[in-house]
Amino acid sequence: METWPGKAYPLGATYDGTGVNFAVFSEVATRVELCLVDDDGSERRVDLPEVDGFVWHGYLPGVQPGQRYGYRVHGPYDPANGHRCNPHKLLLDPYAKAIDGMADGDQALFSYDFADPSEDPGKANIEDSLGHTMYSVVINPFFDWGQDRAPGHEYHDTVIYEAHVKGLTEQHPDIPEEIRGTYAAMAHPVTIQHLKDLGVTAVELMPVHQFVDDFTLRERGLHNYWGYNTIGFLAPHNGYAAYGTRGEQVAEFKGMVKALHAAGIEVILDVVYNHTAEGNHLGPTLCFRGIDNAAYYRLVDEDKSHYYDTTGTGNSLLMRSPHVLQLIMDSLRYWVLEMHVDGFRFDLAATLARQFHEVDKLSAFFDLVQQDPVVSQVKLIAEPWDVGDGGYQVGNFPPLWTEWNGKYRDTVRDFWRGQPATLGEFASRITGSSDLYQEDGRKPIASINFATAHDGFTLRDLVSYNEKHNEANGEGNQDGESHNRSWNCGVEGPTDDPQINALRRRQQRNILTTVLLSQGVPMLLHGDELGRTQQGNNNTYCQDNELSWVDWDLDDTERGLLAFTQRLVRLRSEHPVFRRRRFFAGSADHGGESEVGDIAWFEPGGSHMDEAAWANGYARAVMVFLNGQTIPEPDTRGQKIVDDHFLVLFNGSDGDIEFTIPTADYGDSWVVEIDTATEGAPDPAQQPAAYAPGAKVTAIGRSVVVLRCARS
């Protein structure tokens, strides 16, 4: 084939209308072959003729979008010194923007000799992986975005909905069957209408970067469902494509983003830059391992045949390598500039901070993000932990970042399941966790507040099970978290007891009310608003089936929960007192009060909380006053924000409690907005028109009552 020198930048395969420039980094390579794979599975090999700065490159005129390709990298196979080149393995382009096929698990994918897994350098596996591996695809980068523009919701106005592309749409009866479980299904009007009716402003999609279906799972008849097994950092996962995988998935993904943006909904991607799908030293050679193992992965210093692993997946990317950092930053910019996404949630983000051994929030990765004019301007959400030493870093990320607040999740769960000594911390969490974020200049929006996420129980299961029930995963129920901070309300799993079922429904409403009315950014797990259950499985990473998918066949109870959630989101949206941009002026200790009067805390009898009340480890009830007329920040036009006052009555005890409305200094006429004791909206016929100061309001055992005082 005719081959021109081409250019070393940009990396990847770049189509310009008449041909394609190919460029791939490898410092260890002695020769790099570009392999064009034809429809019949045969290949045409072309030596890349030029190398500049360890980037091998060449331009092939006439190559068109849809062309499948890969690389064969010649160089040392010397695991003891960290090198694993093997030209018998067809390798993915680290910068591939589309990937076709799926690796099949054949022995040909592995570089070491199966007869000698000790990996004697002289016994590399010479079986050819062509026909067993995945293929990079040249894409057409052109797309008609029309009038697309980012919704640009401020954090304090944001309600996040964590969703799985397939899980959310696979069983929806009003989506055409042939596109269910795909990007096209996410863009379907019925999906978008559900999100709009719910009132969420952003979908946080579980991994959509190209991932690998674990071979060991397939042997058990299971599949990688969550997708935290990335192999292509610039390629949308081909398993979610309705219209083809020879690059068509790119346009389909863009169409999904465009449709969601038109509805005012942002798209946040859950991204996995901490490890890859190649696993440990016994894993397959699909891409990075065969291109330049020591440049991409963190190896054990004293034994470079093994990988340093802080992710629990077998490997960790080398965060001090300039080429790894370049790949991550190029990937992030690509998804923002070319795919128009609005932000990222970083899986196991503490690993990204491990430039050397310790977690260092000032590592090179965070410096690069801080100064990048594109990436620094989108939503950046950290999962602030990993499995390595010192990996739990909630509250310790740089000011530009927000965090999944694991302490919020744990405290809210503990409060509603009746654990002692949680009242003070509960107060701190629902007011924005100033103890975690205020000292370094961050604001309440730094806290992503959630009680449930993909990893763990659904909301319904959180109030229905004390123990995990993961037998279906085939690991003897040993996988998944054993300390769930859950409470089954008296019976493990499904029951016909009407009182227990009523309590479980109320507990779901309590937790939703807490999350959606706390200061910070609320996040809901898809299906929680519908009462979704996973039958007690808290680790459905391998359950690509009805156990994990959202069931859209709703009964009256589930429709009622949906309506309740919609009402909560609407209340938050309509009242800025629940979504302040700044912390309350009171001290962080137990959500203390201040001279400004923006917040006040009361015992059920109406007296102010004092130190003794906060120190009572068995106190289970508190009333908080939110002053709608002392919100310090102006609106977008510079006008003072004035809202109604609210009283929120939390009763986490088993018994009914009478709360006394505070004095007229706090408001003279209070009406019920939310009462989690009721299945539907509060019935005006069952309540006085308004509660006056000194009146008694009963909050039944384990319930929340929200009272509003209209501004005078």
In a domain, 570, yes or no: no
Displacement of CA 581 from its chain's centroid (Å): 23
Buried b (16+ CB within 10 A) or exposed e, 404-425: bbbbbbbbbbbbbbebeebbbb
**pLDDT tens figures, 100-126:** 999 999 999 999 887 776 666 668 999
pLDDT(333) > 60: yes
Which residue in 205, 259, 265 sits closest to 237, CA to CA?
A: 205
The model's confidence at residue 389, banded by pLDDT at 50, 70 and 90, is confident
- How confident is the model at residue 121, as a pLDDT? 63
**pLDDT tens figures, 475-485:** 999 999 999 99
Mean pLDDT over 240-265 rounds to 98
Mean pLDDT over 214-238 rounds to 96
In a domain, 553, yes or no: no
In a shared domain, residues 121 and 170: no
Tokens 């919609």 label which residue? Answer: 566
pLDDT(540) > 80: yes
What's the CATH code of the domain at 283? 3.20.20.80
Amino acid identity, position 307: Y
- How confident is the model at residue 363, as a pLDDT? 80
- How confident is the model at residue 435, as a pLDDT? 93
**pLDDT tens figures, 184-214:** 999 999 999 999 999 999 999 999 999 999 9
In a shared domain, residues 69 and 196: no
Tell me which residue range forms the domain holding 18.
Answer: 12-138
The model's confidence at residue 710, banded by pLDDT at 50, 70 and 90, is confident
pLDDT(575) > 70: yes
In a domain, 573, yes or no: no
β-pairing, 266-271 vs 230-236, is: unpaired
**pLDDT tens figures, 662-708:** 999 999 999 999 999 998 766 666 766 799 999 999 999 999 999 99
pLDDT: which is higher, 140 or 420:
140
Residues 690 and 699: their CA atoms lie apart, in Å, by: 16
Which residue in 92, 89, 104, 182 sits closest to 137, CA to CA?
A: 92
Which residue in 539, 530, 156, 161 sits closest to 345, CA to CA?
A: 161
Mean pLDDT over 255-270 rounds to 98
Q: 121-130, 226-235, 303-312: which has the minimum mean pLDDT?
A: 121-130
In a domain, 504, yes or no: no
In a shared domain, residues 352 and 427: yes
Mean predicted lDDT score pLDDT of the chain: 94
pLDDT(362) > 60: no
In a shared domain, residues 126 and 192: no
In a shared domain, residues 91 and 27: yes
Residues 609 and 617: their CA atoms lie apart, in Å, by: 14
pLDDT: which is higher, 190 or 422:
190
Give the pair of three-digit tokens for residue 16: 């310009």
pLDDT(398) > 70: yes
CB 285 within 8 A of CB 276: no
The model's confidence at residue 582, banded by pLDDT at 50, 70 and 90, is very high
Q: What percent of the chain has pLDDT over 70?
A: 96
Domain-terminating residue out of 69, 104, 138: 138
In a shared domain, residues 287 and 252: yes
In a shared domain, residues 167 and 72: no
Displacement of CA 490 from its chain's centroid (Å): 32
Burial of 698 from C-beta contacts in 10 A (0-12 / 13-18 / 19+): middle
Catalytic residues: 347, 383
In a domain, 533, yes or no: no
Residues 280 and 129: their CA atoms lie apart, in Å, by: 19
pLDDT: which is higher, 712 or 245:
245
Domain-terminating residue out of 107, 138, 169: 138
pLDDT(423) > 90: yes
SS3 assignment for 524-566: EECCHHHCCCCCCCCCHHHCCCCCCCCCCCCCHHHHHHHHHHH
CB 74 within 8 A of CB 32: yes
Displacement of CA 218 from its chain's centroid (Å): 25
In a shared domain, residues 117 and 184: no
- How confident is the model at residue 24, as a pLDDT? 98
- How confident is the model at residue 123, as a pLDDT? 81
- How confident is the model at residue 637, as a pLDDT? 83
Q: 90-99, 104-113, 120-129, 260-269: which has the minimum mean pLDDT?
A: 120-129
Which residue in 410, 359, 402, 408 sits closest to 381, CA to CA?
A: 402
- How confident is the model at residue 421, as a pLDDT? 79
Amino acid identity, position 281: H
Domain-terminating residue out of 386, 420, 455: 455
The model's confidence at residue 44, banded by pLDDT at 50, 70 and 90, is very high
CB 342 within 8 A of CB 267: yes
In a shared domain, residues 254 and 133: no
In a domain, 540, yes or no: no
What's the CATH code of the domain at 128? 2.60.40.10
- How confident is the model at residue 311, as a pLDDT? 87
pLDDT(221) > 80: yes
The model's confidence at residue 547, banded by pLDDT at 50, 70 and 90, is very high
- How confident is the model at residue 356, as a pLDDT? 62
Reported as type and span, the H/E element at residue 556 is: helix 556-574
In a shared domain, residues 270 and 400: yes
Give the pair of three-digit tokens for residue 377: 């301007």
In a shared domain, residues 46 and 81: yes
Give the pair of three-digit tokens for residue 139: 């894409």
- How confident is the model at residue 689, as a pLDDT? 78
Mean pLDDT over 66-86 rounds to 97
Collect contacts of 214-218 with beta carbons under 8 A, ≥24 apart. Answer: 214/542, 215/103, 215/105, 215/284, 217/542, 218/105
The DSSP 8-state label assigned to residue 467 in this structure reads: S
The model's confidence at residue 385, banded by pLDDT at 50, 70 and 90, is confident
pLDDT(470) > 90: yes
In a domain, 532, yes or no: no
pLDDT(561) > 90: yes
In a domain, 550, yes or no: no
**pLDDT tens figures, 601-634:** 999 999 999 999 999 988 999 999 999 999 988 8
- How confident is the model at residue 440, as a pLDDT? 87
- How confident is the model at residue 573, as a pLDDT? 98
In a shared domain, residues 25 and 105: yes
Indicate the number of domains in the chain.
3
What's the CATH code of the domain at 596? 2.60.40.1180
Q: 175-184, 419-428, 669-678: which has the minimum mean pLDDT?
A: 419-428
The DSSP 8-state label assigned to residue 411 in this structure reads: H
Residues 709 and 699: their CA atoms lie apart, in Å, by: 18
